[in-house]
Amino acid sequence: MTDREIELEQEHVTGLYARVDALRERALAGSEDADAAAVRRAEVERLAAVEHGLCFGRLDMADGRRVHIGRMGLFEGDEALLVDWRAPVAKPFYTATAAVPEGVRRRRHITTRGREVVALDDELLGSGGDGDVLVGEAALLAAVTAERTGRMPDVVMTLRAEQDRIIRDENRGVLVVQGGPGTGKTAVALHRVAYLLYRHQHLRGRGVLVVGPSRVFLEYIGQVLPGLGENSVVTSTVVGLRPDLVVDRVDPPEVAEAKGRIGMAARLAAAVRERVVVPDHAVAVEFEGQVLEVTPAEWEAAVGKGKASGLPHNQGRLVFEREVVEVLAGRLVEGMEGVVLDDGGEALDGGDADGRLSAADLRGLAAAGVVVGEDLGPRALLDEVDRGLLRDSLLADGGLREVLEGVWPVLSAAEVVGGGGAWSGDSGSEASWSAADVALVDEVEALIGGGRVVFGHVVVDEAQELSAMEWRMVMRRCPSRFMTVVGDLEQTGSVSGASSWGEVLGPFVGKRFEVAGLSVNYRTPVEVMEVAGAVLAAHREGVVVPRSVRVGGEVPWRVLVERGEVVGWVGRFDGAVVASDGVVEELCRGLPGRVVLTAREAKGLEFDSVLVVDPVGILGGRTGVSDLYVAMTRAVRRLGVVCVGEVPGELMGMVEFGG
């Protein structure tokens, strides 16, 4: 590529950054109004986020047009200086091929460092090329072999056709992105979020939620969406959806599994119903010196109306309450209306049984100037305003409220679930919460009528790990069921996790979901996938692992050490450590400052170098095969396995360490 071509691209890129600077200055110089200031700050943050790699591509079309592609759209009048990568005109940048050029003559990848153009990479697709050299996949290979920085890189510059198809998929239901390690499924899901926000502007008002497996994972992906020009997406773990609960207890695996089963929903619903106790006898209520009784039949009727309303428990309680108050108010009104007044206005005992006015009463009223119509029936002493005040007085009465609370109490979700292992038979413990309890509290919150924030679109990453109860929790955040679900069933590491997508999604959307597969591994070297794939193949007949596109050049190795030598051996090597539960704490103490994770904590992450420690211990867990597969496929360059006391048969084919 000639220096002249780089100079020309530099001129254009310099002009783009000048435009961004002008937009930033305009935003900073805006009104001091509080609302406007917040909008300006968001715009300044957006412009800062797209600073790196602002322009990364160019399309030379067969009709002579030239289109620069980047992280945002920039215009001067009607002229597009830079086209947003999500715009329809940019699609051929990701999908055009030599066989199907889609009107593209040349596709150019532009590499920048800061604001400087440092390299150009051309592919000739259509006829009429001008002699430039065809470089092919160089841009992609440069991206997948780049050193990792501790943050997930965006792949907007190197999206492949199968990834782009998923990103631009117009499915308005549930789209499942299924793919093995290194296929870019998380990156695809995040780029899909950016595309949907661009394509469907109403989502900006309704909000988008990304649910990830851990806080470490959310920090890892944290810069992807801002780098794509989107900084308003909410991210959370499943547990984080209930920030009011502090998780400070770990359930045994069998308890966590039991709490995650779908049957727990029915148990919780029954627990809420059982809090309503209908009296089997008349209950006396004292109100302003009068004793009023509610019969069992009246209690039954009031409770029945509350339940028949279909409202959540605490809202249904209001219906029940209203019915009981109406009964008592009726008793009081009957007593008042049954009183007959003499000519002096004093109450007399007895009187007409039906409350009708006597002839003497009528003569007295006429003499007093009160006009009485032809209807000589009973006259109500209390109008509707009076009755309303009477009902309010009853509702404010402490004695009555105590009686009502005894029949139909107002509930809190935490009270019903209890904490401290209450749903595992350990109800005597001091109140505390486990991760599995969070979904139970949220379930009860829905039953009793607690509010929650909902979103227009929800992404669930590592979705195969969610229990049935956690799926119910997530689905409540997305009433429209417009979702992107990301996962790999071969990596399921939770005893409550999924074995099929139909199994977990069917109860919510039936068959109204699509599965889009990613089959190419862009991250994990062939050498690593061979040994990791052997672990799966030893236990799962016919399993197919993603096809790797690159050779790493470094052969994975294993070494056998005694338990007392583990810390010393691990300390000899750089890289992240993924270990069994049994040695994680020891390694954290012995190697302060090192990244030490369990296989569950490492899900979705990637590192240049990985040491897998105690594979036998990892395999000994209830989801051990998946956990070891996950642990080994976190490596992008180098993989070492430190076996403690024994080499598992699945790894006997690995090269022994010789250094």
Residues contributing to the annotated binding site = 179-186
Q: What is the SS3 assignment for 491?
A: helix
Show Cβ contacts of residue 576 under 8 Å, excluding neighbours closer than 6 positions. Answer: 594, 595, 596, 597, 602, 605, 607, 609, 610, 611, 634
State the Cα–Cα distance between residues 154 and 90, nearest whole angstrom.
17
- Cα–Cα nearest to 283, from 298, 274, 273, 293: 293
Q: Which DSSP category does 343 fall into? A: T
State the Cα–Cα distance between residues 615 and 632, nearest whole angstrom.
10
Sign of CA dihedral 508, 514, 519, 524: negative
Show Cβ contacts of residue 338 under 8 Å, excluding neighbours closer than 6 positions. Answer: 351, 355
- Cα–Cα nearest to 352, from 364, 343, 361: 361
Count Cβ neighbours within 10 Å for each residue of 444-462 and write b for 16 or more, e otherwise.
bbbbbbeeeeebbbbbbbb
Q: Which DSSP category does 445 fall into? A: H
State the Cα–Cα distance between residues 54 and 84, nearest whole angstrom.
10
CA dihedral 606, 610, 612, 613 (to 10 degrees): -120
- Cα–Cα nearest to 564, from 627, 655, 642: 642
Is the CB of residue 24 less than 8 Å from the CB of residue 44? Answer: yes
Sign of CA dihedral 23, 24, 26, 30: positive
Residue list for the binding site for ATP:
179-186
Longest dimension (CA), the chain: 122
Q: How many other β-carbons are positioned within 10 Å of the β-carbon of residue 219?
A: 14
Amino acid symbol at 275: R
Do the bridges between strand 340-341 and strand 347-348 make them parallel or antiparallel, or are there none, so unpaired? antiparallel
Compute the C-alpha angle 93/96/98, nearest 5°. Answer: 130
Beta-bridge partners for 485:
176, 460
The single residue listed with the structure tokens 């009076």 is: 386
Amino acid symbol at 105: R
